[in-house]
């Protein structure tokens, strides 16, 4: 069934506070000052619920990236700069303040995020914004805990000699951070939190689809008292500003979140000065429901939310659903019903459970996959197309009758589209789950604890959720196996990706 509707969704006006932010001219934050793009150009920011332009953002390009890198280098390369000499305790308190200020501006940030990205404002209020604040609060505590070791060494070729050897942790330097549009503020927090805790400097390049909350965050960083030039924010297109940042010789590391395809380009761009690269990329995550799941209704709700949360625009979305044969029909029916119950609407409208996709490009891409699935012989149990003629809405979609070679089974769709299939054998389903170049996340639903452990161990994924899905936490490392990434975000694991370990050896 293809769902279409000609009834337009209501227009919802933003609050005066957000209108006020939108009315201000958007600039780039470089060296502590808000400046125009060198080329004087600006690019449109769209409301995905209507397709209308709501703002213009400064179009940073090669010259602006270069300007921002120089501003960051000026801070980092000066050992007497207040950022370089700031005590860990003071740095921690500053980062904590950023978290507090985010919470203070929670409603405004949530509304801005909803308007720019399309997600329901209530979701932004319950998840994106508090999680962003929590990330800064969590990272604030690490600023004082970046310890090295003292290491007893033997030095076989210097018999009798005495040494005192120890390690210290030092910031890597100037880091380019390129982030996507699916959780714009949260991705900025995931990147900036550990960067600040470890004393680095940043050039943040938000996604061109969603630059607004990053710009508001820039104001918050200033209000928190972050020294000038520590974090520079350059809005602009990926192909120009993003590419210039990834390739810049003055950048020591690039941290990227986005598509796997682009992850490859970033590695190539980084090859010039062999800058460090961490990447959090795409996924095609399996979600396996065994017939002995503790509560079938809970598993159904969990599997629906695994794919439909954030309109499926999650790198860890549970987009391949595998259900043990005995409960397959129940699960498929349950998810169909859940999908049909989801209330679509503009993110700012009260009661909206799913907003539009982020852009025309994503609308074309996701509906293209839906059409390809149909062409390749998949059965569309619910959804399967665009909703309405304005904005970028699509219906939550469940496909069955798919085969392993179909594009909808192999490729990351990044929309609310799940493919479901049944299985009978645990070993076989583990193999099928792992039969993908991706390895970001996976779900397992069973009350058999031994089976849960075995499957969790054998799945080649950076996160495995058992009897739950989409559980992320500032303290829990997140990242991918295989082509889903290099390195980890969050937890204390991420700190090693923003620090060098220096070994110091003193002859006594």
Q: Please report how close the Cβ of residue 187 comes to ligand NAI at its closest, in angstroms.
A: 8
Asked whether position 179 contacts ligand NAI by CB under 6 A, the answer is yes
Q: Please report how close the Cβ of residue 487 comes to ligand NAI at its closest, in angstroms.
A: 14
Of 62-70, 238-246, 322-330, 462-470, the segment contacting ligand NAI by CB under 6 A is 238-246
Nearer to ligand NAI, 315 or 331 (CB): 315
Which position among 365, 390, 410, 451 is part of the footprint of ligand NAI (CB under 6 A)?
A: 365
Which position among 223, 239, 295, 329 is part of the footprint of ligand NAI (CB under 6 A)?
A: 239
**Taking CB under 6 A as the criterion, which residues in 241-280 touch ligand NAI?**
242-243, 246, 257-259, 262, 265-266
Residue whose pair of structure tokens reads 């031994």 in the numeric block? 450
* From 201, 315, 324, 412, active-site residue: 315
Number of residues that bind ligand NAI (CB under 6 A): 25
Is there a catalytic annotation at residue 316?
A: no
Of 43-51, 172-180, 270-278, 447-455, the segment contacting ligand NAI by CB under 6 A is 172-180
In whole angstroms, give the CA distance from residue 417 to residue 449.
Answer: 30
- Nearest alpha-carbon partner for 416 in 483, 327, 338, 324: 338
Distances (CA, A) of 265 to 227, 236, 247, 269: 32, 18, 10, 6
Asked whether position 56 contacts ligand NAI by CB under 6 A, the answer is no
Nearer to ligand NAI, 241 or 332 (CB): 241
Nearer to ligand NAI, 62 or 342 (CB): 62
Q: In 10 A of CB 159, how many CB atoms?
A: 7
In whole angstroms, give the CA distance from residue 498 to residue 250.
Answer: 16
Nearer to ligand NAI, 255 or 299 (CB): 255
Q: Mind giving me the DSSP string for 38-56? A: TT--EEEEEETTTTEEEEE
Of 66-74, 173-181, 299-307, 370-378, the segment contacting ligand NAI by CB under 6 A is 173-181
Residue whose pair of structure tokens reads 């396996």 in the numeric block? 288
Which position among 64, 208, 421, 489 is part of the footprint of ligand NAI (CB under 6 A)?
A: 208
- Residue least distant from ligand NAI (Cβ): 238
Distances (CA, A) of 116 to 98, 131, 358, 400, 505: 22, 18, 8, 33, 52
SS3 58: strand
Size of the chain, expressed as the number of residues it contains: 508
Which position among 281, 332, 381, 420 is part of the footprint of ligand NAI (CB under 6 A)?
A: 281
Nearer to ligand NAI, 69 or 246 (CB): 246
Burial class (CB in 10 A: 0-12, 13-18, 19+), 23: exposed
Distances (CA, A) of 82 to 146, 168, 195: 19, 20, 16
Label residue 131 left, alpha or beta by phi (over 0 means left) and psi (-120 to 50 means alpha): alpha
Asked whether position 217 contacts ligand NAI by CB under 6 A, the answer is no
Is there a catalytic annotation at residue 379?
A: no
Which position among 26, 205, 276, 311 is part of the footprint of ligand NAI (CB under 6 A)?
A: 205
Of 107-115, 159-167, 177-185, 340-348, the segment contacting ligand NAI by CB under 6 A is 177-185
Burial class (CB in 10 A: 0-12, 13-18, 19+), 291: middle
Residue whose pair of structure tokens reads 């090693």 in the numeric block? 496
Q: Which residues are designated catalytic?
A: 280, 315
- The site for ligand NAI (CB under 6 A) is made up of 178-180, 182, 205, 207-208, 238-239, 242-243, 246, 257-259, 262, 265-266, 281-282, 315, 362, 365, 412, 414
């Amino acid at each position: 069934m293809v769902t279409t509707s000609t009834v337009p969704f209501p227009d919802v006006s933003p609050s005066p506070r957000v209108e006020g932010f939108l009315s201000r001219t958007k600039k780039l934050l470089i060296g502590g000052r808000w400046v125009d793009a060198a080329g004087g150009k600006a690019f449109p920011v769209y409301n995905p619920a209507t397709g209308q332009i709501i703002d213009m953002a400064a179009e940073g390009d090669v010259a602006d990236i270069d300007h921002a890198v120089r501003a960051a280098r000026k801070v980092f390369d000066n050992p007497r700069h207040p950022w370089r000499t700031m005590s860990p305790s003071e740095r921690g308190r500053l980062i904590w303040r950023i978290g507090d200020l985010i919470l203070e501006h929670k409603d405004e940030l949530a509304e801005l995020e909803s308007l720019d990205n399309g997600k329901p404002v209530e979701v932004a209020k319950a998840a994106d914004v508090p999680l962003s604040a929590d990330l800064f609060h969590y990272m604030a505590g690490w600023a004082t805990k970046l310890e090295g070791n003292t290491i007893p060494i033997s030095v076989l070729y210097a018999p009798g000699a005495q040494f005192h050897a120890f390690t210290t942790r030092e910031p890597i330097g100037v880091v380019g951070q390129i982030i996507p549009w699916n959780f714009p503020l949260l991705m900025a927090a995931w990147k900036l939190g550990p960067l600040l805790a470890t004393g680095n400097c940043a050039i943040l390049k938000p996604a061109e689809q969603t630059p607004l909350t990053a710009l508001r965050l820039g104001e918050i960083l200033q209000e928190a008292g972050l020294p000038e030039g520590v974090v520079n924010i350059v809005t602009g297109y990926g192909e120009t500003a993003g590419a210039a940042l990834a390739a810049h010789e003055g950048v020591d590391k690039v941290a990227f979140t986005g598509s796997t395809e682009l992850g490859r380009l970033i590695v190539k761009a980084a090859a010039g000065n062999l800058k460090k690269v961490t990447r959090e990329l795409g996924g095609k995550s399996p979600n396996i429901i065994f017939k002995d799941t503790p509560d079938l209704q809970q598993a159904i709700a969990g599997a629906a939310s695994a794919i439909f949360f954030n309109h499926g625009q999650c790198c860890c979305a549970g987009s391949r659903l595998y259900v043990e044969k005995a409960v397959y029909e129940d699960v498929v029916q349950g998810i169909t019903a859940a999908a049909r119950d989801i209330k679509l609407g503009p993110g700012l409208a009260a009661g909206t459970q799913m907003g539009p996709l982020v852009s025309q490009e994503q609308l074309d891409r996701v509906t293209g996959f839906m059409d390809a699935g149909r062409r390749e012989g998949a059965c569309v149990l619910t959804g399967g197309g665009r909703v309405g003629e304005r904005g970028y809405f699509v219906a939550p979609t469940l496909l069955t009758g798919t085969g392993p070679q179909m594009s909808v089974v192999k490729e990351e769709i990044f929309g609310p589209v799940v493919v479901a299939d049944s299985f009978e054998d645990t070993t076989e389903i583990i193999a099928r789950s792992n039969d993908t170049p991706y390895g970001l996340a996976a779900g397992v639903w069973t009350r058999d604890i031994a089976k849960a452990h075995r499957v969790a161990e054998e799945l080649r994924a950076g996160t495995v959720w058992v009897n739950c899905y989409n559980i992320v936490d500032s303290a829990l490392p997140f990242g991918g196996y295989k082509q889903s990434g290099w390195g980890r975000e969050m937890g204390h694991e991420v700190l090693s990706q923003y620090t060098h370990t220096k070994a110091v050896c003193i002859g006594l």
